[in-house]
Amino acid sequence: MVEEKLNLPADAFEPLPKDEAQDNENIAGPSLSFAQNVWIRFKQRKAAVISAIIVIIMIVVSFGSTPFINKSTLVKSHPQYANLPAKVPGMSAVNGLNGKIKQNGKWVDAYAENNVPKDKYFIAGTDYLGRSLGQRIIYGTKISLIVALVAAFFDLTIGVAYGIVSGWKGGGVDNVMQRIIEIISSVPNLIIVVLMLVVLKPGITSIILAIAISSWTTMARQVRAETLSLKNEEYVLAARSLGESSWKIAWKHLVPNLSSIIIIQTMYTIPTAIFFEAFLSFIGIGISAPETSLGVLLNEGQKNFQFLPYQMWYPAIVLCILMIAFNLLGDGLRDAFDPRGQR
């Protein structure tokens, strides 16, 4: 065998200088805070980002339209415009969105038959009293969001405070507080609403009181469980040994470390509250006509569903989009706040 000589430089196997060797061992990367890491992971969840945009748009549209849509315009009836289908400008070629409705197998221009002025149109049609269905859906979405915000408020106040106190105190105090939660949770929300109706008339007030009584229990349990583990951490024990008050420890150490659980649970409470209000209004013990909500619109639309399905489809689609968006947003926040999801 003939040995082949490799043409290598004389210093090929010389050790690197100490400074260069240390540079090769360093991990190059930006220093990110916890909030920045959460934002990066959240942006990777496209469904959650889209859901957040949808939720923001719904909030802006429903609350921003308050100066133009009020109870007087929603209650006032216009019999000459009763049961008109949707008519969207620029959609004259699309049946169902051009003011035409199918009758006896034929598409008929309902606006022409009812002598509706040419410049008058309803993007989502009208109900049986000639009221704009689009305006009522926007206002109904606002009512659903108000109920959702109230549920989130009670979660963030009663639920968080109750859970922290229960977990921090422990012992007999914790035992008594948890038995109270079990008693409250054992009573169905529907029963609470029915009891509210004995004192109050059907409406948003009775729904809010029912939510205030029972909606915060799940948040309290989750916060309590996490507080039990956090109160034995070294930084909490160090703060206690330095003589810091329980209130200051809870605010400076417990709440920041509980933020992920609090935010995620709040995002799951919101769609539950929205469905709760819609269900109560649909069966007639929540918000009732002439007031409007998505549940009321579903109740009214199902009566004419066989002949005028759009009166039920439109509020049902808005309700589904609202609940799915909040659920997907909650999933995205859960993954973003989970350190194990970091790539």
The C-alpha atoms of residue 91 and residue 112 are separated, in whole angstroms, by 16
The H-or-E segment that residue 106 falls in is strand 106-109
- The owner of tokens 């000459």 is 80
- pLDDT exceeds cutoff 80 at 265: yes
Q: What are phi and psi of 144, to 5 degrees?
A: -65, -40
pLDDT-derived band at 343, boundaries 50, 70, 90: very low
| Percent over 70 (pLDDT), the chain | 86
Determine the pLDDT at residue 242. Answer: 81
- The owner of tokens 């889209």 is 50
| Sequence-ordered list of residues with C-beta below 8 angstroms from that of 273, at least 6 positions apart, any chain | 147, 148, 150, 151, 152, 211, 215
- The CATH superfamily of 45-75+133-335 is MetI-like (1.10.3720.10)
Q: Are 274 and 340 in contact (CB under 8 A)?
A: no
The C-alpha atoms of residue 80 and residue 74 are separated, in whole angstroms, by 16
- pLDDT exceeds cutoff 60 at 65: yes
Determine the pLDDT at residue 102. Answer: 76
Determine the pLDDT at residue 340. Answer: 55
Determine the pLDDT at residue 248. Answer: 83
pLDDT-derived band at 1, boundaries 50, 70, 90: very low
CB atoms within 10 A of CB 98: 19
pLDDT, one tens digit per residue, over 283-318 is 877 777 777 888 888 888 888 877 788 888 888 999
Angle at 293 between CA 200 and CA 121, to 5 degrees: 145
Per-domain boundaries in the chain: 45-75+133-335
Determine the pLDDT at residue 27. Answer: 55
pLDDT, one tens digit per residue, over 115-159 is 778 778 888 888 888 888 888 888 888 888 888 888 888 888 888
Please give the average per-residue pLDDT across 266-285, as a whole number: 83
| Percent over 90 (pLDDT), the chain | 4
| Amino acid found at 162 | Y
For the chain, how many residues are written?
343
Determine the pLDDT at residue 56. Answer: 92
Q: Residue 103 in 3-state DSSP?
A: strand
- pLDDT exceeds cutoff 60 at 24: no
Per-chain mean pLDDT for the chain: 80
The C-alpha atoms of residue 167 and residue 174 are separated, in whole angstroms, by 6
Lowest mean pLDDT segment, chosen from 9-23, 177-191, 226-240, 284-298: 9-23
Give one DSSP letter per residue of 108-151, joined into a string: EEHHHHTT--TT---TT-B-TTS-BHHHHHHHHHHHHHHHHHHH
pLDDT, one tens digit per residue, over 194-228 is 787 777 777 777 788 888 888 888 888 988 988 88
| Amino acid found at 312 | M
- Sign of CA pseudo-dihedral 101, 106, 111, 113: negative
Ordered alpha helix ranges (H), the chain: 18-25, 34-43, 46-64, 71-75, 110-113, 133-154, 160-169, 171-186, 189-199, 204-214, 217-230, 234-241, 246-249, 255-283, 294-303, 310-337
Determine the pLDDT at residue 20. Answer: 55
pLDDT-derived band at 114, boundaries 50, 70, 90: confident
